[in-house]
Structures are given as structure tokens and as C-alpha cells.
A = this chain, B = another copy of it.
Amino acid sequence: MSPRNDRYRSSLNEFYHLHEKGRGVLTQAEDRQAKIVELLREQNFVDIRTLTERFDISVATVRRDLDELEGAGLLRRTHGGAVNVNQVAQDATNAARLISKQAEKAAIAEVAAGMVADGDTVLLDAGTTALEVAKKLSGRSSLTFISNGLDIIAELSRFDGQSIYSVGGEYTETNRSFRGPLAEHFIRQFNADKLILNAASIDVDRGLICTGSPLNASVARAMIEISRRVIVVADHSKFTKSSLSVVTRIEDVGVVVTDAGAKSIIDAAPDKLRKKFVVAN
């Protein structure tokens, strides 16, 4: 019997080869889960039997996959299957990205969310880690939110009684955000207590926080300008990557929250930088 259904090599793996060089290809599980989400987006519903046949795996594994995906907010379990969540269209690429390092991101988000005080105006940069922070915060009342991330706005929109401001601008597919000069101008009209800033990479040697493109960097700098305290969130994989554009110096931000995987790198940093880091877990 043919164990796996590889009729089409999903563009997913290509994506990861290009952009996640550090950690290599998707695992079988991630690949499968991404396909499940993809399938759900097309058909709205899949039952467990279908999935076992399609991927030639046991019901136990299917259940585990679905539970995990539900935990990541990518679908909703039902008796005998799962349904698509229709808040916002998520594509499978993002699905896989969300799943990877889910636990670390949740831990980081918990710590970052703890730094937000009641009554704060919170500016959330687009990104999967910031999205986790949004999930932690979206229950709390008396907060005001601003974000340029489509998925973050969608997440926040699920709850009543909060002030939510979406940053306008040109939509970009890569991180599902709004950016460009219009976005920057828009941001500058606000005044935020806390900024949750996503880093694409962190270069401890040079003391820099970086992001994927100059346009993102420019938006990020506008965000920093209008915020009283800057909280950078980055899982450990960000410390061994590099990315194109410099956003700011590490010593100029309030704090960088990361996970235990970055411990060794942080310990090797000079005192001045080291005190900026907070390790979750």
C-alpha cells in the first residue's frame, strides 16, 4: 500500500526551502497538517475516516493532528471530523508556520501579555508570535488595540467590548499585513503604551533587530516612534537566521521576550544586551 499521497509536491515545501533554511523541510506531520487545513479550506468539512484513508494513517493520529490544529485555531473539531473556521481565510502556508514552534510561541506570548497593564493601548505588529499575544489579550477588557495584521484584527474582532483600530495600507501576502507610506502615516496618528514587535531575526553580535523587507522595517520604526515601551517577541530560531532590513538596535527597545532555546546565545552576549532579554518557560 502506498503510504502517502504525494500527487502534488505542495508549494509549501518549496516555501520552506526558501525561507526556513535554518530548520530544513517540513516534518511529515507538519506537511500532513498543512494539507488538512488546505483541504478544509476547500471543502469546509472533512471526516476522520476520509483523512485516515487519504493519508493512510490511523484514527488516533488523525485525532492528534486535529487536536493540535484546533489548538492553533486553524479549525474546529466536531464529532467525527473538523470544520473550517471562517473568520479569515488562512492558507496552508501560514497554517504550517503557525503550528511550528507553537508551544514556544505560546510561552513567549504569555510572558509578553503579562507586561500589558489594564487600560493600556497596545500596538500589535503583524506576525504569528504577535498573534499569539493577541489571543492572550483578547479576553481582557479595558484595552485598546491597534494592529496592521489581518489575522490579528480577525482574532480580536471575535470579542465584544474592545476598541480595535486597524492600520490601513497596502496588503502584502508575505506576512498578511498592511504596510507602505499610507500605513506609516496612519500609525503616526496614534500614541501607544505598549508595542508588541515581531522580529524576523535578531543579530546579537551586531546588536540588531531585523525584518524581512525595507517596507516592513519602515512600518516597524513608525510603530516604535509612537510607543512608550517596545516589547520584541521572537522564538529562538530567530537568533540563528538573518534577514534583510535593520529595524533598530537591541539596546533601544524595552525588552526582548524569547524561549529557552536561545539561552546559550543570550548568555554569550555582553551585559548591556543581556539584561534586555527575558526567557519564557
Query: Residues of A with Cβ closer than 8 Å to B?
Result: 1-4, 43-45, 47, 76, 78-81, 83-89, 91, 139, 150-151, 153-160, 163-171, 173, 176, 178, 182-183, 186, 189
Q: A3-B159, A164-B170, A169-B166 are in contact. Are A78 and B80 (CB under 8 A)?
A: yes
Q: Are B4 and A159 in touch, CB under 8 angstroms?
A: yes
Q: How far is the CA of A89 from the CA of B183 in the complex (A)?
A: 23
Q: Are A166 and B168 in touch, CB under 8 angstroms?
A: yes
- Select from chain B the residue with minimum beta-carbon distance to A164: B171
**For A151, what are the chain B residues with a Cβ–Cβ distance below 8 Å?**
88
**For A154, what are the chain B residues with a Cβ–Cβ distance below 8 Å?**
87-89, 150, 154
How near does chain B come to A30, taking the closest CB pair, in angstroms?
A: 22
Q: How far is the CA of A1 from the CA of B86 in the complex (A)?
A: 16
- Select from chain B the residue with minimum beta-carbon distance to A180: B165
Cβ 8 A contact of A86, one of B43, B81, B178, B186: B43
Q: How far is the CA of A189 from the CA of B170 in the complex (A)?
A: 13
**For A153, what are the chain B residues with a Cβ–Cβ distance below 8 Å?**
150, 171
Q: How far is the CA of A189 from the CA of B181 in the complex (A)?
A: 12
How near does chain B come to A121, taking the closest CB pair, in angstroms?
A: 13
Q: How far is the CA of A173 from the CA of B163 in the complex (A)?
A: 10
Q: How far is the CA of A153 from the CA of B1 in the complex (A)?
A: 16
Q: How far is the CA of A91 from the CA of B78 in the complex (A)?
A: 24
- Select from chain B the residue with minimum beta-carbon distance to A138: B1
- Select from chain B the residue with minimum beta-carbon distance to A80: B79
Q: A168-B166, A171-B165 are in contact. Are A4 and B44 (CB under 8 A)?
A: no
Q: Are A44 and B78 in touch, CB under 8 angstroms?
A: no
- Select from chain B the residue with minimum beta-carbon distance to A73: B1
How near does chain B come to A76, taking the closest CB pair, in angstroms?
A: 7
Cβ 8 A contact of A83, one of B45, B91, B164: B45
- Select from chain B the residue with minimum beta-carbon distance to A154: B88
**For A163, what are the chain B residues with a Cβ–Cβ distance below 8 Å?**
170
